[in-house]
């Protein structure tokens, strides 16, 4: 009995010790992060500090690829500019996981750090996932959003996948090659080398030239960052601080409303939240969505959202009925065919089909007489004015000036983004 009590006492002491240790380790880890932020004012120096992959024995190919980048410094710095909203988050995640910082350069090769880039091979997002690969990694793809383009979700999936590949091949260059080529192809190449009694390192492996070139390009970009003067490239600095904050959204909300409440442009919103396919952020009780906003705009959004009393959603999903035309749907929902096609990505010469799901204005009027009456009543509640487009005008600036939205102006005028000098726009004001 004494032995048992002593054992229990030792166990409790051990648990207390380890609990204190974990707490202290967490505190130390947090301090290390803060120290890194304070020590490195430029994020690129923090990135350099975490580089871990060696260059090949013969650097000629690296110099050749690096020179090809340096011959177009404007293009390279455009990639650097693209990376600015995302790079701090990725660097933090790589440090937290203990992964080589070269991995932060993969989106340079994959997408030029443009999460909205379109590919003929159906890949999407910063990390360019195929649809099937995305699904395997848990990235949801539906009519509302594509998580392959989600900054947080896709980055977590990419780093998870790369860690898995590293555990399998025990080599980061092979893991990166497998990320590009597929783990099966790398495994087969290793097996062939093993049967021939040849080494299994990256440089001795007989991989397709594109896969090897993929890794060489990554190392070349790293070399440019380390030795920018050698390549004659002046890399613009990026502040070593978070660019965005994360906000959990538990109710559906129009994207146009988010931009208005956060006081940001649609361009800014799409850069941080490129996953959304529709004008509404769809939310379920079981799956809240994460919204990214610039750090300077987070509190503005939360404060405005707290006091906002009107409906947060003005769009809904509508299923096309039998023999129903898009003209009928537009008329019933008090909108235009052009607006419906624009919002739903329907080509001009295409029509809707039976059972097709499209986004329509939330208010529905079934009866044509009621429809006309509703339109008349709406117009009576508004004063109209005509704005003549001047040189340099944009729809966003005009909408902001009149306290409305770009979509509303498009709807009132049955127009698109292209403006011409002298064009007359009808503006309705309450």
Q: Is the dihedral of CA 360, 361, 365, 367 positive or negative?
A: negative
The owner of tokens 């403006």 is 419
3-class DSSP state of 386: strand
CATH number of this structure's domain 40-231: 1.10.530.10
How many Cβ atoms sit within 10 Å of the Cβ of residue 294?
20
139 within 8 A of 147, measured Cβ to Cβ: yes
Q: What is the pLDDT of residue 373?
A: 57
- How confident is the chain (430 residues) per 10-residue block, as mean pLDDT? 37 42 46 52 94 88 89 89 96 97 97 89 94 95 91 98 97 96 93 88 88 94 93 92 94 91 94 90 81 96 93 83 87 82 80 85 56 52 70 81 77 70 74
Give DSSP secondary structure letters for 165-211.
Answer: HHHHHS-HHHHHHHHHH-HHHHHHHHHHHHHTT---SGGGS---HHH
Of 30, 74, 110, 328, which one is the catalytic site residue?
110
Quick: pLDDT tens for 234-270. 899 999 999 999 999 988 899 999 999 999 999 999 9
Length of the chain: 430
Q: What is the pLDDT of residue 315?
A: 75
List the chain domain ranges.
Answer: 40-231, 244-307, 321-429
List the structure tokens of 323: 């023999």
List the structure tokens of 263: 């006081």
- State the Cα–Cα distance between residues 5 and 16, nearest whole angstrom: 16
| Listed residue (255, 251, 253, 285) closest to 272, CA to CA | 255
Global pTM value: 0.71
List the structure tokens of 326: 């898009």
Q: What is the pLDDT of residue 152?
A: 97
- State the Cα–Cα distance between residues 177 and 183, nearest whole angstrom: 8
Q: According to the CATH classification, is domain 321-429 in 3.40.50.300?
A: no
Q: Is the dihedral of CA 108, 277, 353, 374 positive or negative?
A: negative
Tell me if residue 110 is catalytic.
yes
């Amino acid at each position: 009995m004494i032995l048992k009590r002593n054992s229990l006492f030792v166990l409790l002491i051990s648990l207390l010790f380890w609990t204190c240790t974990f707490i202290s380790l967490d505190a130390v880890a947090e301090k290390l992060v803060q120290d890194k932020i304070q020590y490195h004012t430029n994020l690129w120096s923090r990135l350099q500090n975490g580089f871990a992959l060696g260059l090949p024995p013969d650097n000629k190919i690296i110099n050749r690829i690096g020179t090809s980048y340096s011959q177009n410094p404007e293009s390279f710095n455009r990639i650097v500019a693209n990376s600015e909203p995302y790079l701090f988050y990725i660097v933090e995640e790589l440090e937290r996981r203990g992964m080589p910082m070269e991995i932060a350069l993969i989106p340079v090769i994959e997408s030029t750090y443009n999460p909205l880039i379109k590919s003929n091979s159906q890949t999407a997002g910063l990390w360019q996932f195929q649809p099937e690969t995305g699904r395997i990694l848990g990235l949801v793809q539906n009519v509302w959003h594509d998580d392959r383009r989600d900054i947080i979700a896709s980055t977590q999936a990419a780093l998870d996948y790369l860690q898995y590949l590293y555990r399998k091949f025990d080599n980061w260059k092979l893991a990166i090659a497998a990320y590009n080529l597929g783990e099966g192809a790398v495994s087969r190449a290793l097996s062939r080398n093993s049967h021939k009694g040849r080494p299994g390192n990256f440089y001795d492996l007989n991989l397709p030239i594109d896969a090897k070139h993929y890794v060489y390009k990554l190392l070349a970009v790293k070399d440019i960052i380390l030795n920018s003067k050698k390549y004659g490239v002046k890399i613009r600095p990026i502040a070593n601080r978070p660019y965005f904050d994360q906000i959990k959204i538990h109710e559906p909300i129009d994207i146009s409303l988010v931009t208005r409440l956060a006081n940001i442009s649609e361009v800014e919103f799409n850069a941080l939240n490129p996953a959304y396919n529709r004008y509404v952020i769809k939310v379920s009780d079981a799956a809240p969505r994460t919204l990214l906003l610039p750090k300077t705009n987070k509190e503005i959004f939360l404060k405005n959202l707290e006091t906002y009393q009107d409906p947060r959603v003005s769009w809904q999903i509508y299923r096309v009925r039998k023999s129903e035309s898009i003209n009928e749907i537009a008329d019933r929902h008090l909108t235009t065919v052009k607006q419906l096609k624009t919002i739903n990505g329907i080509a001009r010469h295409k029509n809707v089909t039976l059972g097709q799901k499209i986004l329509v204005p939330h208010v529905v009027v079934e009866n044509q007489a009621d429809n006309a009456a509703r339109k008349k009543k709406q117009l009576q509640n508004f004063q109209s004015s005509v704005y003549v487009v001047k040189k340099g005008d944009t729809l966003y600036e005009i909408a902001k000036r009149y306290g409305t939205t770009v979509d509303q102006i498009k709807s009132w005028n049955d127009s698109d983004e292209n403006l011409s000098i002298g064009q007359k726009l009808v503006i309705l004001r309450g």
